[in-house]
Copies of this chain bind each other. A is one copy, B any other.
Amino acid sequence: MSVAATPKVDAIVADFPILARPTSRGKRLVYLDSAATSQKPRAVIQALVDYYEQYNANIHRGVYEIAARATTEYERARVKLARFVGAQTSEIVWVRNTTEAINLVAYSWGSSNLRAGDALLLTELEHHSDLVPWQLLAQRTGAELRFIPVDDRGVLVLDDLDRLLEGCKLVAIAHVSNTLGTIAPLETIIPRAHAAGAVVLVDGAQGAPHLPVDVKALDADFYTFSGHKMLGPTGIGVLYGKHDLLAAMPPFVTGGDMIRRVEYAHTTFNDPPRKFEAGTSNIADAIAFGVAAEYLQAIGMEWVREHERILTGYALGRLAEFEPRGLAIYGPRDPALVSGVISFNFADVHAHDLASILDTEGVCVRAGHHCTMPLMDKMGWAATARASFYIYNSEADVDALCSGIEKAARVFGV
Q: Please report A residues at the B interface, Cβ cutoff 8 Å.
A: 17-18, 21, 23-24, 29, 33, 36-37, 39-40, 44-45, 48-49, 52-58, 61-67, 96-100, 102-103, 107, 124, 127-133, 135-136, 145, 147, 226, 228, 233-236, 251, 253-257, 259, 261-267, 278-285, 352, 355-356, 358-359, 363-368, 371, 373-374, 377
Flag if B99 contacts A278 (CB, 8 Å): yes
Flag if B364 contacts A67 (CB, 8 Å): yes
Flag if B99 contacts A280 (CB, 8 Å): yes
With known contacts A24-B65, A56-B39, A263–B377 Cβ distance under 8 A: yes
Flag if A355 contacts B63 (CB, 8 Å): yes
Flag if B280 contacts A97 (CB, 8 Å): yes
- Which residues on the B side are within 8 Å of A65 (C-beta)? 23-24, 359, 364
Measured CA separation A213–B4 after assembly (Å) = 55
Pick from B64, B124, B255: contact of A128, CB under 8 Å: B255
Flag if B262 contacts A374 (CB, 8 Å): yes
With known contacts A40-B56, A359-B64, A99–B256 Cβ distance under 8 A: yes
- Which residues on the B side are within 8 Å of A278 (C-beta)? 99-100, 103, 129, 132
Flag if B18 contacts A52 (CB, 8 Å): yes
- Which residues on the B side are within 8 Å of A280 (C-beta)? 37, 97, 99, 226, 228, 234
Pick from B62, B279, B284, B359: contact of A233, CB under 8 Å: B284
Measured CA separation A55–B23 after assembly (Å) = 10
